[in-house]
Structure 1
Amino acid sequence: MLINEPNRHHDEHDRDHPKGDTDNRDNVYGIGFGIADITGPAVEINMMGYAHFGQDGGGIHTRLYSRASIVVDGLGNRICYVNVDLCGAPQLAKTLVIERLHLALGSRIYTHENLLISATHTHSGPGGYFQYFLYIITTEGFNKQSFYAIVDGIVESILKAHKSIKSGRIYYNKGDLLDASANRSPASYALNPKEERERYEYNTDKTMYMLKFTDLQNNPLGMINWFAVHCVSMNNSNHLVSSDNKGYAAIKFESNFNGYKNVGKGPFVAIFSQANEGDSTSNTREPICINTGEKCDRITSTCGGKNEYCVSFGPGRDMFESTKIIGHRQYRKATELFQLAERRVSGPIAFIYQNINMTKRLVTLEDGTEVKTCSAALGHSFAAGTTDGEGDSHFTQGTTAGKESKLFDAIRNLLKTPSQESVECQKPKAILLPVGEMTVPFRWTAEIIPTQILQIGDVVIVALPGEFTTMSGRRIRNDVMQMFRHHRLKKEVILAGLANTYTNYVTTFEEYQLQRYEGGSTLFGAYTLDAYREQYKYLTKKLIEKERIPFGEQLPNFLEQEFSLKPGVFFDHPQSGHEFGDVLIQPLTSYTPEQTVEVKFIGANPRNNLRTDRSYLTVERFYDSVWEVIATDGHWETMFKWERKNIILGTSEVTIVWNIPKNCTKGVYRIRYFGDGKSLLGKITSFTGTTQSFHFFRHRSRSSPDTDHPNQKHHEDDEEHCSSDAACDIDQF
């Protein structure tokens, strides 16, 4: 790997990268942004996140996107930062993305070393895209539709960013956001040394970090921010694809620049990235026992010994409102930081990368003691789930070695008995699944882990390959900052979570001892964090010294071994007496603000056509003698729901919901459904269904209080928001 090596490969798109001072002391960079759809199959595929059998997709609330940003310095050195609306960043997808980019642009432009892919950690997207067996059990195996939708979308977003590169400037800002997160394992956090805890005011990271990108005329090009909070506002009862709170914030932010109709189209791109969110939840209300109303047990998160009764909730009345509120709070803070960002980023682009084997890795602690990591294993506490989403009722958080169920140990042994070495190494974890020793049908979890640091002038981005808890992330950040300070360099250090692969959780040694969910999910044992700290200090040192380091072991590729037990679509058939697209339930003749339009059609399976970068629905307004589209299935106020009626007959129905924003323009509207039916012979035919038109009458109210919930926020300039260019505005749902 070459540190800060000039990129010798140039093409026609490099003409806009800045020339002149190679140190970028003039603060000018080449900047590009791109966005593309990665939604994938919206129905019948189990959602990735809660590992909840039965939580299969049933439609779309918001689409999922890949958002890419590229920064180039005066020497042509570049980095590419990609954020995806996924539960985690699949390492195999990154490998294929790089192969595709090499074919399109040559092998020296984007590589494992300078491309970072981070995930928002939404729990409401179709799964089946990881190559490791553990993560595709609930999806009945590997899902090619899901996987290739992700690969295609990431590539497209990067190519769009690459083609859009122009000279510009970058600004840095940061500030605290206090009301959008809470610690879901405060008992674990409290085990960290008192003197360490006293250095921080909060038990979650409340700081939002921001990079603002403009062209040389100060026109906004894009934005990236990082804030640590789980995307679990949508709970495990949800069946609609959703980008959750960070996706809501991104859509809302982008609409300010692109117009509300252009969801997912750019050109302005807003990236709401993840950080060290391992113990940071968006369900900000304290967990309670839903059967009694009392507080849950602090250690086990149980109520009378049962984990399913202990639940934490978001600030809203339901999961949709909670998603809006937490998303709006991130949007609001990001807007403030964006508007006030004045500090210019300056200096060269650099990057460093290395794959490491985290199994049985020797680590030297600060006191000189030599320890090692373990073969990967998941504990009994892992199976208990969290207050964000309960696991199996037979398990509880806080279960340590010697206190586990012997019955489940016996059942486990039918799959794989953990080695004695692993049992001893992982203590006090009570091993439920020795995943590092399980290789049938192929590896269950990753052991070769990518580690990476990107540098944009005086800003450093550390790629964390998993879910690091608050204090784990703080230790990594402090280590990197201290390394720079030791060399008399001042850098702003940002953590990018869930980057380049997925390795479950990383706790501190102290947090690990309690074995709550996060500790039970720390794969490589009690010294996992210490191994990562040692590695990131090494990377930082070599980055500063501009030294070459080995690439490390090659990343595995199990694509040829992947399989699926999930059947495809057999065929579709309309119900007797109907055609595809027939309207079963028409809209009313008229509506007023904040009412809900709900219509139903004869449908077909959406897996026949993913309609990538398109839509299964449109809400249209008759304006100037034509029907104009004012909302799609990517807009927050719409819902696309698909329901199988009879699997033998192949019948299904589609329900489309439009929650009318209160500032919509009066006029005549209609709703259309776009589907694709599959015949018994396998031929797929597109069709369209259209409702009768209906009227929307506007009645303005000036009595709404101005609170921080967007549903209640009132705008004095409503009429200005209701132009023909944007019939409805996201500020008003």
Structure 2
Amino acid sequence: MYQVGWDKQQIKITPKGYAMFGYGQWSHRAYEQRTALFARSFSIVDQQHRLIICCLDLGCITHAIRSQTVARLTQILDSRFDENQLVLMATHTHSGPGGCGYEALYNMPTPGFVPEHLNAIVEALVQSIQNAIASEQDTEIFLGTQHFPEQTPVAWNRSIKAYNRNPEVQPRTEAETHLALNREMQLIGFYREQQLQSFISLFGVHATCLGNSLNAYDGDNKGYAAVFSEQALIEQGIQNPVTIFAQATAGDVSPHFHGKDQLKIRNKIKGEQEYQYAQQNGRYQSELALTALQSNIPKNLHKVEGKIDAVLSYVDLSNIEIPDEFAAGQKHAKTSQPCHGTAFFAGTPVDGLGAPKVLIKGMQFLADQFRKQKTKHSKAVDFAEYQQLYASQGPKQILLEAGTKKILGQPIGFPPSMLDPLIAEMNRQVKAGAIQQSPLVPSVVPLQIVRLGQLALICCPGEFTTIAGQRVVETVQQVFLNQSDIERVWLASYCNDYMGYVTTYEEYQQQAYEGGHTLFGQWTLAACQSKFKDLAKQLLLEKNKRHYDEMTRPQPIPENELAKRSNHGNLKTAVSQGEAV
């Protein structure tokens, strides 16, 4: 028997016209609040250890959110808090607040860093954790799984050509994109007196039912699923139920149809219909979870027994040598500094189109010309550097070298502001000296595996595609095989920070949006597999015998630069300048 408590708190952010996080669109601004956004938390205690699992109605977790929460909890809970055993997840709604990270790039549309957003999120998160701890009671925990029937229109693979490149998959046609994903929902149910009280669901599908032309904060499909489930439990007499609908392998999975006439079909869902569509998708998820957890106890559910444990390590993904077993027969495989390809700027075909096609064609031409120039002249000072970069990044048409802060080899800030309001904002920040020492994106990110009895949960900080996630799970399962009583290995994504996408090596060669946004090159997944394998081995050892890096952390951001990127009352000026551009 475990002691378990739960709580949820509203994230109190007033919509003031800041851009939302997710689509990267300058015009996608929040002027209204359609649904409340919540921080939901569970505290699970065995005889010795406490595991805290939280999920927020946000696009992602940032290092700013995690580090501030850890600092607050260390202060409040003192020795009772172990940051290894804190999991922060995001639903990945694209209709949540932006400006919540210390790094510069993904905050450009907001524009800039918004301290009051970060403070409101941390406040709700810490309060929900404190309340969860205060409400701990004897609780039984059961694990279950349930598959969506093939005919339930809940999810489609949005990158089918890339998916079909994987040797282990059954190739799917354009008419079968709904089958090119993991249709299994994984569930952790919490019971008192044999009655379901609260639960956690893991299922990968983008929270992009709501498009980028709307102007309100909203929880999207995952938020609606949680609200519907909590309401259903309240109607059954459960007091203060909390249900988390978190993400699994959602990287290449869309809630919109992908196949013949996909754009035409998507464009018929507009305005109010988009909210109805999000609700319907959430209802599918809610109904599947409740059916699985309420009709099968204890027949198809597995009781959780055993200890709580966790390992967490920050790794620098920009400089990892890939062990032979993950290098597909290639020697000297390495990751590189983070780079964004032209496919990143093109966006996704249905969920969120990026820059206009003509601009993308121009970017592709310039990226190819730049590559030829850099790899032709062997006497050039930076020849060896670019040889290594292109070896790591493979076929990616690199536009932005986010690590060295260059666009086509030139320092950021050179493109004319008239091209785009986002470029105008970037130039403004460069001129203000706001990103000289600050990173554009994170490179040092947390990888975590937590143990709850016979379940191991791999917590990943990015958007893993279906097969990329499957390979990580298989890698970790191999470590536990015959070595422990861990029977199940599940994966949660959008955990603890945000590092863009992770595709398989084969998918990466396609250079669809997901490959263009796999920042550390074609060996990114291999690096994650290698590091998660190491972590899994450590989890098998007694705590006092473990040796792994627990000291590495991202470098602190210069406060003077952060202040220059913060928009204290500068929003109207920045937005109007951008719109006038």
Q: TM-score, normalised by structure 1?
A: 0.66
> C-alpha distance in 1, partners of 2:268/2:392?
36
Residue of structure 2 aligned with 1:169, choices 131, 140, 148:
140
1:487 aligns with 2:463: no
Partner of 1:379: 341
Instruction: Provide the secondary structure at the position in 1 that maps to 2:225.
Output: helix
Would you say the 8 A contact 2:503–2:515 is kept in 1?
A: yes
1:192 partnered with 2:166: yes
Determine the C-alpha separation between the residues in 1 that align with 2:447 and 2:268.
34
Residues 570 and 458 from structure 1, CA distance in 2 versus in 1: closer, same or farther, beyond 3 angstroms? Answer: closer
CA distances 1:347-403 after superposition (whole Å, capped 9, x unpaired):
111111111111121111326744111111000000001120110014699999778
Identity of paired residues, percent? 28
Determine the C-alpha separation between the residues in 1 that align with 2:324 and 2:371: 35
Larger radius of gyration: 1
Matched AA of 2:451: Q
Match of 1:517 among 505, 508, 513: 513
Deviation at 1:405, TM superposition (A): 7.0
- Separation in 1, partners of 2:223, 2:288: 15
1:145 aligns with 2:116: yes
**2:42 paired residue among 38, 54, 69:** 69
**CA distance in structure 1 between the aligned counterparts of 2:237 and 2:46, rounded to whole angstroms:** 34
Counterpart amino acid of residue 118 in structure 2: F
Q: 2:55 corresponds to which residue?
A: 83
- Cα displacement (A) at 1:424: 3.9
User: Counterparts in 2 of 1:396-407, with a 5 A limit?
Assistant: 404=367
Structure number with the higher strand fraction is 1
The residue type paired with residue 253 of structure 1 is S
Partner of 2:130: 159
Q: Which amino acid aligns with 1:562?
A: L
Judge conservation of contact 1:509–1:529 (CA < 8 Å) in 2.
yes
CA pair 116-565 structure 1, distance change in 2 beyond 3 A: closer
Matches within 5 A, 1:218-617: 218-258=194-234, 267-284=240-257, 286=259, 288=261, 318-339=273-294, 340-342=296-298, 343-366=302-325, 369-386=331-348, 387-394=350-357, 404=367, 420=386, 421-438=388-405, 440=436, 442-487=438-483, 489-546=485-542, 547-548=545-546, 549-558=548-557, 560=559, 561-563=561-563, 564=565, 566-568=567-569
Q: Give the CA deviation at 1:487.
A: 1.6
Equivalent residue number for residue 208 of structure 1: 185
What amino acid sits opposite 1:269 in the alignment? Answer: V
CA spacing shift, 1:495–1:313, aligned 2, 3 Å: farther
Q: Distance in 2 between matches of 1:432 and 1:346?
A: 50
Which sits farther off after the overlay, 89-98 or 189-198? 189-198
Unaligned runs of 5+ in 2: 374-381, 406-434, 577-581
Retained in 1: the 8 A contact 2:472–2:532? Answer: yes
Structure 1 residues 80-122: Cα deviation after superposition (integer angstroms, max 9, x where no partner): 111111100111211111111122121x223331101011000
The aligned counterpart of 2:422 is: none
Larger CA deviation: 537-546 vs 60-69: 537-546
Question: Kindly tell me: are residues 77 and 284 of structure 1, through their superposed partners in 2, closer, same or farther at Cα, counting changes over 3 Å?
Answer: same
Spell out, residue by residue over 1:440-461, the C-alpha distance to the aligned partner (whole angstroms, 9 max, x if none): 3510011111010011001111
Q: Deviations over 1:565-618 (max 9, x none)?
A: 6452999xxxxxxxxxxxxxxxxxxxxxxxxxxxxxxxxxxxxxxxxxxxxxxx
Shift of 1:552: 3.9
How many Å separate the matches in 2 of 1:191 and 1:157? 43
C-alpha separation between the residues in 2 aligned to 1:58 and 1:105?
A: 37
Whether the aligned pair in 1 keeps the contact of 2:368 and 2:397 (CA below 8 Å) is: no
CA distance in 2, matches of 1:224, 1:408: 47
What per-residue deviation string (whole Å, max 9, x for no partner) do you get for residues 649-695 of structure 1?
Answer: xxxxxxxxxxxxxxxxxxxxxxxxxxxxxxxxxxxxxxxxxxxxxxx
Q: Report Cα offsets for 1:192-231 as digits up to 9, x if no partner.
A: 1156769x9931111000011123x234332001000000
8 Å Cα contact 1:380-1:395 kept in structure 2:
no
**1:381 and 1:395 in contact (8 A); partners too:** no
CA contact (8 A) 1:31 1:72 kept: yes
Partner Cα distance (1:370, 1:450) in 2: 24
The 1-side partners of 2:251 and 2:87 are apart by 19
Q: Structure 2 counterpart of 1:240, which letter?
A: A
Q: Using CA pairs under 8 Å that are at least 6 residues apart, name the structure with larger relative contact order, 1 or 2.
A: 2
How far, CA to CA, are the matches of 1:133 and 1:425 in structure 2? 24
Query: Unpaired runs of 5+ in structure 1?
Result: 1-27, 294-309, 411-416, 572-643, 645-733
